[in-house]
Every structure is written in structure tokens, then in C-alpha cells.
Structure 1
Amino acid sequence: MPRLTTALRSAVLSAAALLAVTAAPPQARAAAGPEPKAPSGFVALRDVAPTILQDIRYHTAHNFTGDRIDGYRAPMCILTEPAAKALRAAQHKLLRKGYTLKVYDCYRPQRAVDQFVRWAEDLGDVRMKEEFYPRVEKDRLFEDGYIAEKSGHSRGSTVDLTVVRLPALPTRPYVPGEPLVPCYAPQDERFPDNSADMGTGYDCFDTLSHTEDPRITPEQRANRQLLKSALEEQGFANLPEEWWHFTHRPELFPDTYFDFPVSRRSLTPGH
């Protein structure tokens, strides 16, 4: 057998080390310590408001990083109980108007935010630029406020969401590597989403995502206002830079950034 080169030998040793870790018995892997759990006060939105649609993007690779995000063990929405109940109240009113809410992201573990930060610091990784930030250079994402080391989502009362006209049509899954279209393109050109036309897609790093941006059409403005008014009536406040971002106030945990995984097992029994 030919002698291994230094680089190849290093790669083989690294692979062997990784295999040893993944093959280790569960008790050895658990030695790092148990996963954090959610305190009482967090609930699964599905248990409180089962008619609200869920499209948890960070459980998939269809997001601005191009990778599934750390800590999203299940495609589910977890929120503080007051926020979940407020969404249920908003949903009841919207259903009577022929719409449903759809959530993209809810509670977000700190480990997910940390992954966003690492991604933003890697200026060479621009796989998803053409869709999510085509008009913003990656080295400006921190300065322009699109990425930060802390997120209100980690406190549990912030949610990213939209409205969908009923009956809600199915949407196809994202296929990694498929051609990308700018998130501010006309709705029939950008990635398909059964959401009402909001002028941009979700997580569009662009000033057109500002809730009151004057360049959107009257229909898009009406759809944004439908979402905003329905949530404001239930105690949510919108982040002006993102039409999809709302925080329920007063927050149940205003000063705590949690890191438990998005998983049913993270919740206390009965929640």
C-alpha cells in the first residue's frame, strides 16, 4: 500500500477520531452534562393553538446560512405561555376574516444565535446571498443590525410569522443547491410560500423588509397591516425593520437568554 501523504494521514486520523466519538456509548456522550430544560412557563404552540400553521425554517437548510441550525431538534414552535395564548386570540379573529397565522420561528436557542455569529464572521460563505441578502455585503451584517450576538427570540416571547389566506395551499420543500431568486423579487418569482404577499420573503436582509417601507404596493401594505393590527391588539409589538418580527409584552422572561433545544423533551411535563 503506498505511503499516505501527511495531509491524507491527518484526514484519516481526524475521521477515526470522529468515528470514535460518535460510536461512544450513550453514557460516555452524556458525560458532558445533561441538556438544559425549559422552565415552567414555556409551551408548545401546537398544544395551545393547533390551527396556526408552522413552517420552522431553521429546522431546514432554507435560511440565510444554507445549513440546518443548531438546537432545532424538531420543527416545532415553543413560546412562553402568555405569547402562545395571545397568538391564539389573534388567530381566532383572523380565521373569521378568512386567514390563518403561520409561524417561521419562535423560541430560538442561544446556540443557534452563536451559529449565526460564526456564519457572519466567515466572509467566504455566501452560498445563500443571492436570495437572502443580495444588496448587502456580508461584512456589513453586524453593522447594519441583521446579525447580533443576542436575540430576543431566546427569551421566548418573540415570534416571526405571517398570514396565509384560506384555504392554505401546500408549498414545496426547498431543495439544497436549487437556483436562488432575490427575496425582494415579485412573489410569483421568489421561492414559493403560501403567505399573503408581504413584499419580500421571510428573513430578507433588505430595507424593503421595513414594515412601513413606502416602496411596497398597496396590496402588500394592506397585508402587512392585517398582520400587524391583529397582533398589536393582543399585546405584540413589531420590530420596524422586519415586518415578520413581533414580541409579546410584557415578556415573561425579559432578561434571560435560554439555550434549551427546540424539542418536546425540553418542555416540563404537562407543557
Structure 2
Amino acid sequence: MTRLSTAVRALVTALATLLAATTAAGTARAGTEPEAPDDFVALRDVDRTIIEDMRYFTPHNFVGERIDGYRQPLCILTRPAAEALHKAQTKLLRQGYSLKVYDCYRPQRAVDHFVRWAKDLDDQAMKAEFYPDVDKSRLFADGYIAEKSGHSRGSTVDLTVVRLPAKPTRPYHPGQPLVPCYAPQDERFPDNSVDMGTGYDCFDTLSHTLDPRVQGEQRANRLLLKGTLENLGFVNLTEEWWHFTFKPEPYPDTFFDFPVSAGSVTGRH
């Protein structure tokens, strides 16, 4: 009986050890995230003076909630793109301005979130601000939403220009009254940037960089941003005054899905 009891105890111990090891391995696999390549950096590690207003970490965006994959309000880019932004910032600081980024690297899971939202035609909570004149059923056909984004390749950035000293702006509170993104600057949601004629992520043809209806100071502000960045290797998306891609892209055909967090880039450079 003693030998049998010992054998049973040994078998139970072995099975428990095996179960624990299997559970731990499964947990490790479940917690494994895609990793950023070594040449991705946090913009703040290249230039701490560039203002970061990461909209998809907040509910103030066209979806109305924090977007999947944005774990921290952090701008991550490939190093060449970040260094080019640093050069642009140096030029603008001399003129009394600063860059402000709204979005940088965007994980594929965030793009998937946009796609799910766009297919839900009943969810129009943010329509009054971000797409007041566009039927939500047209977002794919009109090119406002797509299943892939250049942002996921790591060298595309959405940004604007702020006159220094930067003024504080009040936070967005979910449920507050919304104003169309193309309304006059003193009526739409406050942003401490210069007047670009529309707010960020405005789904409207007025957001086209060189739309002829945008003139005067608004056009001059768009051209200041465009000219500064294009002289340093960025290419503007003509439909969005805020959207620029650094060329040549280090990863022109790769769409990454690591999360937006300091852990994705810390200790890798």
C-alpha cells in the first residue's frame, strides 16, 4: 500500500506539473504581441518639442471611443520619418510655430476597428462633427475608410501647425453638442492649431489640401505645413491637408499590428 500510495502521489504531481506548464505556455502565447522592428522609435525620443495630441487614444474622433491598439497617447514612427519631422520642427520653431501630431503609426487592429464601425450604419454618434454631409453608407466608396492604411507601415503622420506659445484647449467630453468640422474656427471644437479651414479628420472635400474654396490665411497655413514637410521628403495626400508620408518608406509593403505603447519601442534602440 505504501508503494502504491507513493506511485499515485508521484503520478498526481507529474500531472499537476504538466497541467501548470501547459497553462503557462498557453497564457504566454495568448499574451504575446507583435513586436516593432528595431528602427521604429517614439517621436518624443527624437524631438520632445513636437506637441502630441493623439486623437485615437481619446473618444474625440469619428468613431467616438478609444480605438483598438492605442494603449498610450504616443506617436511612434520609423526613425527616418521621425528624424525628418525633427528637421521640420527646427525650421518651424525659428518662425514661431510648432508641429502637432494627431496620429502616427496605426496598428492594423485599429484599421479593423474603423472598418467594423463603418459597416455599422446605425452608429452615427459623431456624424454631426466629422461627416455632417456624407452618408455613412458612402464612407468606403468615397475613400474615407479603407481596409488598409499607410499609417500601419510606420512612416505616415497626421499633423498640423500651432503658433507659439501654444494655448491650452479644453478637453472633449462625450455627449457634448457637436459642431461641423468645417464651421468657422471659433465655432468648431477648439484646437490650438492655426486655422486650416477644417478640423482634423473632417470627411469633406473642403479637407482637400488645395481646394480652391480655401483661401487667405487658411490656405497660407496649409501651404506652410505642406511646403515645410515636402522639402524634407514627405508627400501629402491631396484629399487630406493633415496627411503626409515620408519617402522612401522603409516598409512600403508591410502593415504592422504591434500596439501603440512605450513597451513596443522601449529598449529596442
1:71 to 69, 72, 81: 69
Q: Using a 3 Å threshold, how does the CA distance of structure 1 residues 197 and 27 change in structure 2: closer, same or farther?
A: farther
Q: Which runs of 5+ in 2 are unaligned?
A: 1-22
2:125 to 124, 127, 135: 127
SS in 2 for 1:144: coil
How far did residue 217 of structure 1 move?
2.9
Q: Cα deviations across residues 116-140 of structure 1 (Å, max 9, x unaligned)?
A: 0000000000000000000000000
Q: Cα deviations across residues 13-32 of structure 1 (Å, max 9, x unaligned)?
A: xxxxxxxxxxxx99865442
Asked whether the 8 Å contact 1:43–1:80 carries over to 2, the reply is yes
SS in 1 for 2:162: strand
Asked whether the 8 Å contact 1:72–1:261 carries over to 2, the reply is yes
Asked whether the 8 Å contact 1:38–1:268 carries over to 2, the reply is no
How far did residue 172 of structure 1 move?
1.3
Match of 1:191 in 2: 189
Q: Residue type of the partner of 2:156?
A: T
2:82 to 84, 90, 107: 84
Match of 1:6 in 2: none
Match of 1:222 in 2: 220
SS in 2 for 1:180: coil
How far did residue 178 of structure 1 move?
0.3
RMSD over aligned Cα, in angstroms? 1.3
Q: Using a 3 Å threshold, how does the CA distance of structure 1 residues 220 and 26 change in structure 2: closer, same or farther?
A: farther
How far did residue 270 of structure 1 move?
4.2
Q: Cα deviations across residues 70-91 of structure 1 (Å, max 9, x unaligned)?
A: 0000000000000000000000
Asked whether the 8 Å contact 1:155–1:256 carries over to 2, the reply is yes
Give me the whole-angstrom Cα distance separating, in 2, the residues matched to 1:27 and 1:203.
42
SS in 2 for 1:43: strand
Query: Greater CA deviation, 244-253 or 210-219?
Result: 210-219
Say yes or no: does 1:213 pair with 2:211: yes
Give me the whole-angstrom Cα distance separating, in 1, the residues matched to 2:46 and 2:259.
20
Asked whether the 8 Å contact 1:48–1:84 carries over to 2, the reply is yes
Query: TM-score if structure 2 supplies the norm length?
Result: 0.90
Which protein shows a greater Rg?
2
Q: Residue type of the partner of 1:193?
A: D
Count of residue pairs the alignment pairs up: 247
Asked whether the 8 Å contact 1:37–1:268 carries over to 2, the reply is no
SS in 2 for 1:253: coil
Give me the whole-angstrom Cα distance separating, in 2, the residues matched to 1:29 and 1:185.
50
1:1-271 matched pairs, under 5 angstroms: 29-267=27-265, 269-271=267-269
SS in 2 for 1:237: strand
% same residue: 74
Give me the whole-angstrom Cα distance separating, in 2, the residues matched to 1:165 and 1:97.
9
How far did residue 177 of structure 1 move?
0.3
Give me the whole-angstrom Cα distance separating, in 1, the residues matched to 2:127 and 2:146.
18
Runs of 4+ in 1 over 3 A off after TM superposition: 25-31
Query: TM-score if structure 1 supplies the norm length?
Result: 0.89
Q: Residue type of the partner of 1:161?
A: L
Give me the whole-angstrom Cα distance separating, in 2, the residues matched to 1:29 and 1:175.
37
Match of 2:8 in 1: none
SS in 1 for 2:100: strand
Give me the whole-angstrom Cα distance separating, in 1, the residues matched to 2:268 and 2:50.
20
Give me the whole-angstrom Cα distance separating, in 2, the residues matched to 1:33 and 1:264.
16
How far did residue 104 of structure 1 move?
0.1
Query: Greater CA deviation, 33-42 or 241-250?
Result: 33-42
Q: Using a 3 Å threshold, how does the CA distance of structure 1 residues 221 and 263 change in structure 2: closer, same or farther?
A: same
Give me the whole-angstrom Cα distance separating, in 2, the residues matched to 1:35 and 1:267.
12
